[in-house]
Structure formats: C-alpha cells, structure tokens
Amino acid sequence: MNGDLASRQAALVAALVSGAPVPSGFDDRLVGVARRALLRKRADDVRRQWPMLAASFGPAWVSTFATWAETRESRGSLRDGWDLARSRAPLAAAAAAELREREALWAYDGASAPRRRGRVSAAVRMWWARR
C-alpha cells in the first residue's frame, strides 16, 4: 500500500467509533472486539462525569451507553453524557437533578463545546434547579 496511510487510518477509526464498515482485509471479529472494548472505555469515562446518570441505569449502563454511542463518535465524556441524558427524558430523579445542575452552570447548545455561564446567571439558575 502506498501513500494512502491517512485515508486508511481514517477508515479504520470510522469503523471503530461511528459504525462504518470494517475496511477490507481486517479480521471482522477482532475489530469488533476492539470496537466493543472502546465502547466500554467510553462508558466508564462517561460514568465518571455523570455518576447519577450512569447509576440510574444500574447494571444496564454499559449496554445502554454502548447502544447509544456505537454510531456516534465521541465528543468527549462530558458532552456524550449530556447528549444521552437529554435524549432519555424523563430521567430518574437523581439523574434529572444532575442534568439540571449542569444546565444551570453551563450553557450547552448541543452542537459546540459547553460554555460556563456567568456567576450571577449560574447562581440564579442553580437556585431554580434545586427547588
């Protein structure tokens, strides 16, 4: 193979993180094993950022997250958990409270990185979130 390392690496990453077909010649089973290991690692990372969200799914957390994430490349564990939480309303009480507090402290439009809100705005929103 000559001169196409960049495109071949991109095709492999796409197969691993966003559900694209496994490039020809690779062992489908082993790439699948690696893909699932990556999803478990992502699920663990999101669990650290969103402990109440993860706990609300109990032992089904990893499979729930993996099903949601297998066609979505990671935007980082903060945003991955956020996107999943917003898509799963109504959430269990503790997970809903966790989401409300994040929404109070950060402005997140779902498309670009969350931005920390101003102190006064955050304080008012936090007061509402905890009522």
What is the β-pairing status of strands 115-116 and 106-107?
antiparallel
Residue closer to other proteins, measured from CB, 39 or 91: 39
Of 53, 74, 98, 126, the one binding other proteins by CB under 8 A: 74
Task: Choose one: 25-33, 59-67, 84-92, 110-118; the region binding other proteins (CB under 8 A).
Answer: 25-33
Between the CA of residue 36 and those of 2, 24, 126, what are the distances in Å?
30, 19, 37
Is residue 94 within the footprint of other proteins (CB under 8 A)?
no
CA distance 7 to 67: 27
Positions in the binding site for other proteins (CB under 8 A): 1-3, 5-10, 12-14, 16-18, 24-27, 30-31, 33-34, 36-38, 41-42, 44, 73-74
